[in-house]
Amino acid sequence: VYMVECIQAGAHGCVPSIGNVVPEICAKLYDAIIDGNDEKIEILKKQMLDARKRVYTSGKSWFSYVSGIKSKLNEKGITGTKMAEPFVME
């Protein structure tokens, strides 16, 4: 997770994939970075990393990353659980 470092280095924003699941934490983290509130940054960064660990480590395959996000977004009523077919070039 490089959101903190990127914004502190001058980036205007960041689009972390876990932001789909916990946008409120990511928004608060962004505000804390802009405000220079180091204590709050560490608390929110830990919350974001904890959420990321829970979502992305649901299995041993690389696919657990995608299925973890889909599952959490389904719980929030944002999307269904059906996965798209992989794109295959002929």
pLDDT value, residue 71: 78
The model's pLDDT over 10-44, given as tens digits with 9 standing for 90+, comes to 999 888 888 888 999 999 999 999 999 999 999 99
The model's pLDDT over 45-82, given as tens digits with 9 standing for 90+, comes to 999 999 888 887 766 666 666 777 777 788 888 877 77
Distance CA 80, CA 78 (A): 7
**Distance (Å) of CA 90 to CA 67, 83, 84, 85, 86:** 26, 21, 18, 15, 12
**Distance (Å) of CA 6 to CA 16, 17, 26:** 11, 15, 13
Distance CA 60, CA 62 (A): 7
Note the pTM of the prediction, 2 decimals: 0.74
pLDDT grade, residue 7 (50/70/90)?
A: very high
